[in-house]
Structure 1
């Protein structure tokens, strides 16, 4: 596509499998640069965005900001493990640093800063876990906001729960910014949250009644029933029940999350491949099962039942669970992109400037 005809150009950093990208492509943006270090995530990204004329770059710390092409918008779901509740707890237990003291992941935010400083794009959108707000008694968030403010961006942020779009309680913080020499009235409160009935798991589960075509290895047979491999082994199910009972007796809230078709799931995490305990699906007369990767794709809004162009899952179940657990819920990205669109494409800003001159 000729640059002169492009509404806006964006780059996708810490891209994962492209959750944020989906939102901004939906409003006509063109991705001109992608960085993602994980080779399995690169494989899924390539499979689902095959028309890119740029390669997927790896480690962002090894990329000179001068080699990043000019862009109007920077997207970055910078690594959240240093700030997540689970990540902090694990690092504390191991006696390891976390947040900005974590040299391997926490400081990757500053790679975002150096690219913003060099290219000065019109806008950015960052994503992270809700715990970023409270990490290190709020100091981490203050450092982030101060760094972005010094780059002359008007910054706003909002915690959004994907539950209004998908049947999953998933709170994430989104941080937006527009350059101060490009005045806007945008705030994250402009993001519209759907009203009405919230989705339930029935909306994304395999119906197992023959109404969808079997998709091996997720579903099998004429009724497209979920493969037996997703049912927990008796040994694992027994362990999870004993583990939950132990913590319940101790007054802790740890345990598995057993859900039925009319329920909403807990947050899907990257550890789902281990035992599936946070989201187990009830089965009549049988041991509970994990979600299939296809159901995880639907749970994250990457596709939906009956979609003529389902999300391509070219990797193993283990890698797919990790990818969806780390991803941005696509419908949330679309909602944010829709709110930012008038300012990214100038359709509001130009009009407001004319009013100001008058």
Structure 2
């Protein structure tokens, strides 16, 4: 672990010295508290969780023996849920954290937003990524040099700006000394009944490591993730008038299905859910045309265990689930990461 020397946020304000010391102390206390709470003397690996949301990466990594040393998330409600479930209060705006104050770690995990880069070209510096949230990942990788990183983004990253955005990201990661691989994976192929395609980028400092993305695994059925309707609050059900209209319009081929009703009123149905979206999923995803998905069902569709505590209101929980990293999918990726790294160590 790196020794803290006082957080130097990017400001020349004379009042920053007190703030720097305070945040530095908070980080040190946070790491000490995390280690004290852990039952295991030595984790299999340590990691940091950037743009953490409600901890999709955290849930997957902890299940594999990882120990989170630092987390960052800017949304207040997501931070509340994260702390309630993992006992770690994420730090806020990552742009205000000096990379040298982040603890040394084995794996950097980050689900970051897709943003365009303003300058076309493959420059040797960081000027063409400055001002984006990927820049924050790059500057931490540059300073901390963790052996491994795993990044998650939307499927469209692979084609964004005619492929230039992803090409720029890969170029910068390689300039930082990482052997990098990427692939679009679908959560539907990794344990959950949700069609959610995501771009996954994996990198290793050790170029001798041969990494392969995970093979598909059997997924849970909708029946396995849906709650007993006798236990579901009436507020999630549509009126009989609306249900009758839907059923008259659409005949599903599946006994248990998620109906997708678009803005035009057209309905399609599948034995799985289409991708959850922050806030919107509640309105257009319907269980057998009769009711909306509950917060617990939305979390299950992302692979969160039922032990995950719901501490925010329904609206916020729906938003959090829609923004989350698919736990079961990134867990399979991390398994492969650990396997590839262990083969090299033998």
TM-score normalised by structure 2 residue count: 0.75
1:1-358 equivalence runs, <5 A: 1=35, 5-50=42-87, 52=88, 55-80=89-114, 82=115, 99-101=116-118, 107-164=132-189, 165-180=191-206, 183-188=208-213, 191-195=214-218, 198-208=219-229, 223-224=230-231, 226-232=232-238, 255=264, 263-272=271-280, 276-277=283-284, 279-282=285-288, 288-303=290-305, 307=306, 310-344=307-341, 347-351=342-346
Cα drift, residue 192 of structure 1: 2.6
Q: In 1, distance between residues paired with 2:243 and 2:96? A: 44
Q: In 1, distance between residues paired with 2:245 and 2:180? A: 47
Q: In 2, distance between residues paired with 1:234 and 1:320? A: 27
Q: In 1, distance between residues paired with 2:46 and 2:202? A: 16
Q: In 1, distance between residues paired with 2:155 and 2:234? A: 35
Q: In 2, distance between residues paired with 1:38 and 1:239? A: 39
For residues 51-102 of structure 1, the C-alpha deviation after alignment (integer angstroms, 9 at most, x for no partner) is: x4xx41000011111111111110000124x4xxxxxxxxxxxxxxxx2359
**C-alpha contact 2:85 2:308 (8 A) present in aligned 1:** yes
Match of 2:14 in 1: none
Q: In 1, distance between residues paired with 2:161 and 2:263? A: 24
Q: In 2, distance between residues paired with 1:267 and 1:342? A: 29
For residues 101-137 of structure 1, the C-alpha deviation after alignment (integer angstroms, 9 at most, x for no partner) is: 599x970000000000001100000000000011101
Give ranges in structure 1 of 5+ residues lacking alignment. Answer: 83-98, 209-222, 242-252, 352-358
Q: In 1, distance between residues paired with 2:308 and 2:183? A: 28
**C-alpha contact 1:15 1:35 (8 A) present in aligned 2:** yes
Give ranges in structure 2 of 5+ residues lacking alignment. Answer: 1-34, 120-127, 248-261
Match of 2:31 in 1: none
**C-alpha contact 1:259 1:282 (8 A) present in aligned 2:** no
Question: Paired residues, what number?
Answer: 285
Q: In 2, distance between residues paired with 1:265 and 1:293? A: 14
Q: In 2, distance between residues paired with 1:232 and 1:259? A: 17
**C-alpha contact 1:158 1:175 (8 A) present in aligned 2:** yes
TM-score normalised by structure 1 residue count: 0.72
SS of 2:152's partner is: strand
Give the RMSD, CA atoms, in angstroms.
Answer: 3.0
Cα drift, residue 234 of structure 1: 8.4
Cα drift, residue 144 of structure 1: 0.4
